[in-house]
Structure 1
Amino acid sequence: MPQDTEQSAPVAPAVPSAPARTLLPLILPALAVGVGSSLLYLLVSGLAERLQGVLWGDLPDALGVGRYSAVWMLVMLTATGVLVGLVVWKAPGHAGPDPAVLGLSAAPTAPVVLPGLVLATMLMLAGGPSLGPENPIIAVNVALAFWLGRRLLPRLSGALWPVLAEAGTIGALFGTSVAAALVVSESLAGRPMKGALWDNLFAPLAAGAAGAMTTNLVARPTFDLGLPPFGHPRWEDLIAAVVLSCAGALLGLAAVYAFPRVHGVFARLGHPMAALPVGGLVLGALGVLGGHLTLFKGLSEVAELTRDPGGWTAGQFATMAVVKLAALLVAASCGFRGGRVFPSVFIGAALGLTAHALVPAVPLAVGVSAAVLGMLLAITRQGWVSLFTAAVLVSSPTALSLLCIASLPAWLLVTGRPQMQLKADGTATR
C-alpha cells in the first residue's frame, strides 16, 4: 500500500482561552475607569469651552475689540503662552514632561503633577493653540487610574490600569469603543500576550464602551462632517484616494522632519517663560495669516469648512492647511500641553477640500477622508487610529474600502521614517 510521503505543515498550538471566572472580576473596574475617564474629559473640555467663550467672546466685546482681529489674536495667543509658561514653571511637577517626547500612550505619573497638567491643558484649549486634548487627558486618566486602582484593588495587576484608562479615554474622545479596541490591539501587537487576543481585549473593550457611552449620553459628539453621501465608487475615485492619501502623508512628513529642528530652536530659549510666550506670539501671527479657523484644536472649525465647501477658494484652503501645519509644529515644539490628532484632521480636511476645489470631479467624501488618512499616518504612525478617524468623518462603508487600499501606499511612504515624537536627547524616534 503506497504511503503518503508529503509532510504536513506544522500546526501552531491553539492559544488557550481564559475561563469566564478570570474575566468577570475585570468588568466592574473596567466600567468604572471608562466612565471616570469620560467624565474627566468632559469636565476639562467643558470648562475650557466656557473659558474660550469668555476670552474670545465676552472679553473682546467688552473692550470693543474685534473677536478675531489681528490685534486680539496676537494678544490672546501671547497671553496664553505667558499663562501656560507660568504653570509649567511654577506648578508642582511642571505640568508633566516635555510633550514632544510623548505619544498617545502614557506612563503613570505622580498625582502631584496632575493639577498643573490639567490647568495647562485647559488654558491651551481655551487660548487657541493648535493642539487637541487627547495626549494630556490620556496622561491624567492613566495616572489617576493607576494610583487609585493599586490602592483600591491591589490584587489586580498594576499594568491593567493604564490600558483601561487609555481605552476609556480614547472611547470617550471618539465616541465609540471600536476606536479603543483598535488602538489597544495595535499596542498589544508589540507585547507578549497571555491567552487569546479577545481575552486581552475584553477589559479594555469594556472600558472603551463605558467611556464612549458616557460621552454620547452626556455630550452627543460626532465626527460625521455631514459631507454629501458617497455612492458607487469609480476607478477615478480610487486614483484620487491613493493620490490624496500619499499627498497627506508627504505633507505630514514635512512637519515630522522639521519637528526636531523647531523644537531645538525653542529649547535653546532655555526657560518656559521664554519659549511659551514666544511660541504664543508666533501662533498669533500664524492666526493672522491663516484666519481664525486655523486656531484651536480644529474639530469644530473643520465642520465649519465642510458645511460650505464653496465658500473658499482652492488657494484659501491650501493656505489654511499650510498655516495649520505650521501652527501644529510650533505649538507642539514650544511646550504647550496637547495632542496632534485633532489639528491633523483639520490639515487633512483642508488638503482634501483644496483638491475638490481644483478638481470638482473628486468627491468631497473621498478627498477629505483620504487626505486625513495620509496626514494621520504620518503624524501619529498609528494605522488603526488613522483609518478609523478618516472613515468616521464620512460614515460611508463604500468609502472605507477605498481608504483601506489608499492606506497601503501611504503607509509605505511613512513606515521606517522618523516619528513626530522625540527622545530625551531631542532626536526623533523611529
Structure 2
Amino acid sequence: MTDTTAAPRLSVRTLVLMAVPALLIGIGSAVVLRALDLVSEQLMHFLWDWLPGQFGADESTPWWIFLILTLTGAAVGAIVWLVPGHGGPDSATTELGGPPPKLGAVPTILLVAILGLAGGVSLGPENPTIAVNSALAVAVFGRLSTKIPPALLVMLAVSGTIGALFGTPVAAALIFTGTVGALALPGSLWDKLFLPLAAAGAGAVTMLLLGGESISFTLEPMGAIQPIYLLQGFLIAAVSAILGIVAAFLFPYLHKAFHALRNPIIFTTIGGMILGVLGIIGGPITLFKGLEQTAELLEHPEDYSASQLALFTGVKIVALLIAASAGFRGGRIFPAVFVGTAFGLLAFALFPGIPISLAVACGVMGITLAATKDGWIGIFVGIALCGDITVLPLLCLIILPVWLIVTKAPELTVHPPEKAPAAAPAKA
C-alpha cells in the first residue's frame, strides 16, 4: 500500500545541482582556514623562535612571554578600536552558526585572528574562520542564486569549516543532525544532511591535501571493559564538566568587567598582560590555541607530574576565560580540549589503575560537553583524542548522567542584556 502522506523529497537532480555550491563552499572554507593557519604559523615562528634570539631570550623567557602577549593585546585592541570592520563581532557573544558579519569586516577579522593565534592567545581559529567563510559564502553564492537560502549557505560554510578543522566530515554531520530540521528543506534526515555533509567532506579532504592538521591521536588501548570503568569514567567526565560549568558561570562577569573599561585598546591590552602572567606561570605549553600542545601532552604523558598537570589545567582554563572576555577573537573548543586532556592525564597520574585512553576521553568529553552543549561533538572529540574505539560504548553511557549535570548550566557564551531602545546606539 502506498503512503500518500509521505513528506515530499528533493529530487536527485536538485541535490546534484545544489551539491556544486556545497562542494565549492567546503573547498573554499578549507582554503581560508589553511591560509589562516599558514600565515599565523609563520608569524608565530618569527615572534617566538627567531625574534627572541636577537635579544638573548627564547620562548620560555618570562619577560618575553609577557612582552609578546601584552603587545598582541595592544595590537588587537587598536584594530578593534580604530580600523574599519573593528575585528568583526565579539567572539565571546557569537555561536558557531550565527549570522554572518558584513563583508567589509572580513579583513580585520582575519587580521586579529592571525595576531591572536601567532601571539600565544589561548583561543582557537574556529569562530573567526566560520565568520569569514559564512560572510564569503553569503556574499558570493547569495548573489549568484536567490534559490539558496542564506541560512543554508551559512550552514554549508560552518560544515566546511568544521570538516576542515577536524580533518573529517563526521563531526559536522553529528553536529547538524539536531539542527538541519530547522531548514525549510523537504525530505528525510539524510536528504537534509546531504549538502552539509558534502561541504564538510570537501573541506576535510581539501584541508588534508593542503597539509593541514588532524585531531587524531593514539593512546594505549583500554583493553577488556570492566564494570568499574563506568564509575571511574563518570567521575572524571563529571568533574571535567563541572570545571566547564564554573568557567561558563564566571564568563559573563569577566566579560562585563573588561568591557566596562569601554576602550578596546585598554581592556585588550590588560587582557594580554594577564595572559602574559599566566603564560609565565604555566609555561609555553599553556599558550596558543592548544592543539599542538595537546599533542605534546599525549606524546609523552609520563613526562609530566600530577602537580604539573594540575597547573596546566588551571592556568589554561583561566587563560581561556581571560582571552575570550578581553576582546580577543577566537574559538573556545581547542583550548577546552587541552584543558580536558590535561585533566584526564591528571586523573590517570593520580589513579594509575584507570586506563589512560578512558581517562583522556572522559576528561575531554566532559568539558567539551559543558562548553558546546553538544553530546555528539563531546563523544567525537573524546574518541579522536584517545584513538581507541573500545571506549566508545562506555562514553555513550557515561555521557547520559553528565548531560543531566550540564543541560541546565549556563553556556560558555556571553549573551549581553538587551538595551532599551532609547539608550541603545543605532546599529547598521
TM-score of the pair, normalised by structure 2? 0.94
Equivalent position of 1:130 in the other structure = 122
* Equivalence map 1:269-284=2 (5 Å): 269-284=261-276
* Equivalence map 1:279-294=2 (5 Å): 279-294=271-286
Q: Are residues 1:43 and 2:35 paired?
A: yes
Displacement, 1:367? 0.4
Q: Secondary structure at the match of 2:85?
A: helix
Equivalent position of 2:222 in the other structure = 230
Q: 2:85 aligns with which of 60, 83, 93?
A: 93
- The amino acid that maps onto 1:141 is N
Equivalent position of 1:103 in the other structure = 95
Equivalent position of 1:163 in the other structure = 155
Equivalent position of 2:329 in the other structure = 337
Change (3 A) 1:155 1:187: closer
Q: Secondary structure at the match of 2:178?
A: helix
Q: 1:178 aligns with which of 151, 154, 170?
A: 170
Structural RMSD (CA):
1.7
Q: For 1:99-135, what per-residue CA distance to the aligned partner results, in whole angstroms no more than 9, with x for missing partners?
A: 2111211212211000000000000000001000001
Q: Structure 1: which 4+ aligned runs deviate by more than 3 Å?
A: 11-16, 189-193
Equivalent position of 1:188 in the other structure = 180
Displacement, 1:222? 2.3
Cα separation, 2, equivalents of 1:150 and 1:308: 48
Equivalent position of 2:368 in the other structure = 376
- The amino acid that maps onto 2:215 is F
Q: Are residues 1:420 and 2:412 paired?
A: yes
Q: Are residues 1:139 and 2:143 paired?
A: no
Cα separation, 1, equivalents of 2:4 and 2:264: 54
Residues 145 and 165, structure 1, Cα contact 8 Å, conserved in 2: yes
Residues 175 and 377, structure 2, Cα contact 8 Å, conserved in 1: yes
Equivalent position of 2:54 in the other structure = 62
Change (3 A) 1:244 1:193: farther
Cα separation, 2, equivalents of 1:322 and 1:78: 21
Q: 2:310 aligns with which of 310, 314, 318?
A: 318
Cα separation, 1, equivalents of 2:338 and 2:308: 14
Q: 2:10 aligns with which of 18, 21, 26?
A: 18
Unaligned runs of 5+ in 1: 1-10
Cα separation, 1, equivalents of 2:155 and 2:127: 14
Cα separation, 1, equivalents of 2:73 and 2:395: 38
Residues 298 and 342, structure 1, Cα contact 8 Å, conserved in 2: yes
Equivalent position of 1:32 in the other structure = 24
- The amino acid that maps onto 2:187 is G
Equivalent position of 1:328 in the other structure = 320
Cα separation, 1, equivalents of 2:312 and 2:83: 35
Unaligned runs of 5+ in 2: 420-428
Cα separation, 1, equivalents of 2:371 and 2:149: 32
Which stretch shifts more, 61-70 or 294-303? 61-70
Q: How many residues align?
A: 417
Equivalent position of 2:344 in the other structure = 352
Q: Are residues 1:241 and 2:233 paired?
A: yes
Displacement, 1:375? 0.2
Equivalent position of 2:291 in the other structure = 299
Residues 59 and 284, structure 2, Cα contact 8 Å, conserved in 1: no
- The amino acid that maps onto 1:309 is P
Equivalent position of 1:204 in the other structure = 196
Residues 34 and 212, structure 2, Cα contact 8 Å, conserved in 1: no
Q: Secondary structure at the match of 1:361?
A: coil
Residues 321 and 347, structure 1, Cα contact 8 Å, conserved in 2: yes
Equivalent position of 1:388 in the other structure = 380
The percentage of counterpart residues that share the same residue type is: 42
Which stretch shifts more, 157-166 or 175-184? 157-166
Q: Secondary structure at the match of 1:95?
A: coil
Q: 2:358 aligns with which of 359, 366, 371?
A: 366
Cα separation, 2, equivalents of 1:99 and 1:160: 21
